[in-house]
Amino acid sequence: MRQQPLVVVKCGGNADVDAEAVCGDVAGLIRSGVEIVLVHGGSAEIERLATELDVPQRTHTSPDGVSTRRTDERTLEVLTLALAGSVKPKLVRRLARHGVRAVGMTGLDGLLLRARRKRAQRAVVDGRTVLVRDNLSGILESVNDELLRDLLDRRLLPVVSPPAITDTGEALNVDADRVAAAIAVALRADTLVLLTGAPGVQADPDDDSTMLSVCEVSPDGSPASWARGGMAMKLIAAREALLGGVAQVMVADGRRSEPVRRALASRGTRVVLRPHAARAA
């Protein structure tokens, strides 16, 4: 039986998130006996590289207000280059400087993240809801938890990002927040920490003073109307983790020193299910 606490940390791709502070904090927690899996995105680097390579970027907004990246073949190539070739190596090098033996992986490696392609996706375009069918994004179906558990047992830190892989070997973009939630569920993690470029979940996204200490989410349906863009997706990921049995989910400020410790000390927003929502055993 596992003795150490296990925490899944999602390091946001927002340029404001202090990756050095995250890595230093993760290293200190590992030395104190906490097991950690680090999941990362890389939106800022994806956008920088796409601009450099002249690959247009488009965003889909679903009817309930959740924004996701439109992923065609060129964008998928840019995403893979940015995450696997830039963001991840930088994180691994930072961790190494803190004495952490990190193993960088995408969902393709060791069939870590299995997904199926979305055949159609609803999006609002010019005020009309349309079906988009040429999007190389997927729905995460399974996590190779045995592979992650083996790495943790060897005192290695998995550093994980999209893309995921299908049964036929096709690479697909999947949301990194939902990847972190799925990994937390698969490993029966004690806590999922979602670090972002804001103090936590805010009732008004433009006003830091409106941060919620606790945010209730419904067991199904759309996120609250005030949750926009990436924060809406974080709340969806938080809900999936809670329904899957993860005891605690925190959305916290990735711009501060010791951001993970602060989150574990409830400095941020704790996301909880509404009281009538039963958690899976």
| Tens digit of each residue's pLDDT (9 = 90 or more) over 65-113 | 566 777 889 999 999 999 999 999 999 999 999 999 999 999 999 999 9
Residue 202 located in a structural domain = yes
What per-residue confidence (pLDDT) applies to 99? 97
Q: Are 123 and 61 in contact (CB under 8 A)?
A: yes
Q: Is residue 249 in some structural domain?
A: yes
CATH number, position 72: 3.40.1160.10
- Say if 278 falls within a structural domain: no
Residues whose CB falls within 8 Å of the CB of residue 136, separated by 6 or more in sequence, listed in order: 71, 72, 73, 75, 76, 117, 170, 171, 172, 173
The confidence band for 2, taking pLDDT boundaries of 50, 70 and 90, is low
Looking at residues 252-263, what average pLDDT do you find?
Answer: 96
Structural domains of the chain, count: 1
Domain assignment of residue 257, given as a range: 6-273
- Residues β-bridged to residue 172: 164
Please give the Cα distance from 35 to 8 (Å, whole number): 8
| Alpha-carbon torsion (70, 236, 9, 114), positive or negative | negative
Is there a domain that residue 279 lies in?
A: no
pLDDT at position 33: 96
| Segment 176-223, tens digit of pLDDT | 999 999 999 999 999 999 999 999 999 888 888 999 999 999 998 777
- 97 lies in a domain? yes
CA-CA distance, 230 to 238, in Å (whole number)? 12
Whether pLDDT at 259 is above 60: yes
Give domain status of residue 154, yes or no. Answer: yes
- pTM of the model as a whole: 0.91
H-run or E-run covering 129: strand 128-132
Residue 275 has pLDDT above 70, yes or no: yes
Per-residue pLDDT, 249: 98
pLDDT digit string (tens) for 120-172? 666 666 566 666 666 889 999 999 999 999 999 999 999 999 999 999 999 99
- Is residue 9 within 8 Å of 28, Cβ to Cβ? no
Given a cut of 90, whether residue 54 has pLDDT beyond it is: yes
- For residue 268, being part of any structural domain is answered with yes
Would you say residue 277 has pLDDT above 60? no
